[in-house]
Amino acid sequence: FHGLEKIKTIGDSYMLVGGLPTPRADHAEVVAQMALDMREVLANGMTVLDEPIRVRIGLHTGAVVAGVIGTKKFIYDLWGDTVNTASRMEAMGFANSIQVTSATYDRVRHLYEFEERGLMQVKGKGEMPIYLLVGKK
Distance CA 34, CA 31 (A): 5
Alpha helices in 9-54 (DSSP H): 27-43
Catalytic residue among 24, 123, 136, 137: 123
A 10 A CB-CB count for 26 gives 15
Residues 92 and 58 sit within 8 Å (Cβ to Cβ): yes
Q: Is 88 a catalytic residue?
A: yes
Catalytic residue among 39, 56, 88, 107: 88
Q: Is 123 a catalytic residue?
A: yes
Distance CA 84, CA 64 (A): 10
Looking at the annotation, which residues are catalytic? Answer: 88, 123
